[in-house]
Amino acid sequence: MNELFEQLQISAFREPVSYNTISFYMRIKNKQTGVISVPDNSIVFKESHKDTTAVYIPPIFFLQQENAQMLMNDLWDIGIRPLNHSSATGELEATKRHLQDYRNLVSKLMARKGD
CA 115 to chain centre: 53
What percentage of residues in the chain have a pLDDT greater than 90? 10
Q: Give the count of alpha carbons within 13 A of 65, CB side only.
A: 0
Whether residue 29 contacts residue 6, with contact meaning beta carbons closer than 8 Å, is answered with yes
- DSSP 3-state of 105: helix
Spatial neighbors of 6 by CB under 8 A, at least 6 apart, are: 28, 29, 31
| pLDDT greater at residue 56 or residue 28 | 28
pLDDT tens by residue, 59-88: 888 888 888 999 999 999 998 888 876 656
